[in-house]
Amino acid sequence: MTVLRPVRAGNAFEETVERLLQAIKLGVVGPGEKLPPERELAVQLGISRVTLREAIRALQEADYLDVRRGRYGGAFVTYVPPQPGTGDLRRVVADMGTADLADALTFRMAVECGAAAVLAAGPLTGDQRDLLRRRLADVNEAGAEDYRRLDTAFHLSVAELSGSSLLATACADARLRVSDLLNAIPMLQVNLDHSATQHEAIVAAILAGDPEAARRAVSEHLEGTAALLRGFLS
Amino acid sequence: MTVLRPVRAGNAFEETVERLLQAIKLGVVGPGEKLPPERELAVQLGISRVTLREAIRALQEADYLDVRRGRYGGAFVTYVPPQPGTGDLRRVVADMGTADLADALTFRMAVECGAAAVLAAGPLTGDQRDLLRRRLADVNEAGAEDYRRLDTAFHLSVAELSGSSLLATACADARLRVSDLLNAIPMLQVNLDHSATQHEAIVAAILAGDPEAARRAVSEHLEGTAALLRGFLS
DNA sequence: ATTGATTGGGCTAGTGTCAGACCATTGATG
DNA sequence: CATCAATGGTCTGACACTAGCCCAATCAAT
């Protein structure tokens, strides 16, 4: 039964590593940037500094972080997303299992469509409209190294602007579950152009305040990604 | 930022109490039924028996459970959902905060609409169709005491049949967040009739394989509940 | 009445996690 | 060059949680 599932996913250390890995892989803290100071971060994550430091050390040893002491020191992100190639995709899928893959794609479709619809339905301030346009522009101007990160930022912005933190969390979770997959598929210019058009459509629908159109636009966009995945797998 | 939120909601004891309360309030284990044996349940919840027992004792002292020793003993649910009255509603809302309320309603709307659409889109086996009809019939035949529980079961069935365990979990979570509210609003015959019609529409759309209609039907249904809440609050 | 299986009740030793204090290093600033 | 603020590094005592074991109660089957 769904409700009598494990109370916690693992011990505090493991969960913390997972979280930091999320922040890094999703590009919340990009390459060269640093995590917040330990004391601060520990509070944000609701754990003790000791546990946080263990997690940081693990990521350091796995070459995700470079930790420097002293003032202006900190834990700097060294991880750069791998240049994608189709070769890895099957391995990534094998790692997560096809059932989980379908689950993740379905979940993502549901929550992101929902977030876009909610956002389009509500009134938007000028700042919010600007942010949305800014993120859209960022993706369009992005080079190959930054593309995934800024694409993620765009999608998460839609979720966060919806005003529902539960939805935003769900979208972040969903995105994370597919991020390894996305990183493994090659970026072809055709697909990038296609995505750009779809991103435009999403923003247009949201700014126009048309929930149905927004939902449809997101749906088509994500369906495109899913189709791409299936294409590389078959 | 969404991704650097607390790693754990509280200590194991608190989270366990919360979970068991979920199971009880959502009617996963109905009045008079008993929880699984401690050793078994502890494994399911991924916690030690000691911690589980503390949680059970807390619920026992709060009169949710009656614990009996010996063979054929166990932790029996004594909790019966309170007969609803509008008086409590304001207090419940005050407890959770209006921002959280809006968040919960939004989240629920997104995930349940998504689940219904997914379910309607996919092919359904005969058994699945039967289960759906069965749950619908259960709600319609339910007496006042069983109504909320069977209504929950109906909604959760839609989510679980969608085949996405992530979505099902999200729906259960969403339902839980509003369950206190639902329990606090009075059940008027008009509303029950209205809900019954909407439930029929949802099932019809799903069985017809029409995702758009299914989404719309769920949306109207939940919007009705939300409106009802607003009505009692204003 | 006896037995045996099932279940809750309780104990202990070991490990995980926490809060808080203090130390060590770094580099900008005066 | 000395200072100082910000930051990572380390230690300690307390508490939470776990695994595993054995005890106590209950009740159907014999």
B66: which strand partners?
A: B76
The reported pLDDT for the residue numbered B91 is: 80
Cβ atoms of B45 and B16 within 8 Å: the answer is yes
| Angle B157-B158-B161 from CA coordinates, rounded to 5° | 80
Distances in whole angstroms, Cα of residue B141 to Cα of each of A219, B11, B83, B184, B196? 37, 41, 18, 21, 10
Mean pLDDT over A61-90 rounds to 87
Q: Could you tell me if B4 lies within 8 Å of chain A, comparing CB atoms?
A: yes
Asked if residue A52 has pLDDT above 80, the reply is yes
CA–CA separation, B128 and A190 (whole Å): 41
pLDDT of A174 reads 94
Query: What is the per-residue pLDDT for B12?
Result: 96
Regions of chain B where pLDDT drops below 70:
84-87
β-strand B65-68 against A74-77: which pairing, if any? Answer: unpaired
pLDDT at site B62: 96
Report chain B residues whose CB lies below 8 A from the CB of A5. 44-45, 169
Q: What is the pLDDT of residue B21?
A: 94
CA distance A229 to B20: 39
What share of chain A has pLDDT > 90, as a percent?
72
Question: In whole angstroms, what is the distance from residue B232 CA to residue B234 CA?
Answer: 6
Distance from C-alpha of B55 to C-alpha of A221, rounded to nearest angstrom: 45
Which residue in B has a C-alpha nearest to residue A169's C-alpha? B2
Cβ separation of B47 and A174 shorter than 8 Å?
Answer: no
Q: Answer with the residue of higher pLDDT: B116 or A99.
A: B116
**Structure-model confidence comparison of residues A66 and B26, the more confident one:** A66
| pLDDT at res. B94 | 80
At residue A21 the predicted structure's pLDDT band, cuts being 50, 70 and 90, is very high
pTM over 0.75: yes
Which residues fall within 8 angstroms of residue B28, CB to CB, at 6 or more apart? A1, A3, A4, B22
Q: Is A41 on the interface with B (CB under 8 A)?
A: yes
Quickly state the pLDDT bin for A86 (edges 50, 70, 90): low
- The per-residue pLDDT for B86 is 61
Measured in angstroms, what separates residue B73's CA from nucleotide D30's C1'?
21
Tell me if chain B has a CB within 8 Å of the CB of A109.
Answer: yes
Closest CA to B20 of B7, A175, A77, B51: B51
Which pLDDT value is given to residue A107? 96
Contacts of A106 in chain B (CB under 8 A): 118, 162-164, 166-167
A18 compared with A93, residue with greater pLDDT: A18
B190 and A CB contact within 8 Å: no
List chain B residues with CB under 8 Å of A19.
Answer: 3-4, 7
| pLDDT at residue B176 in the model | 87
pLDDT of res. A85? 64
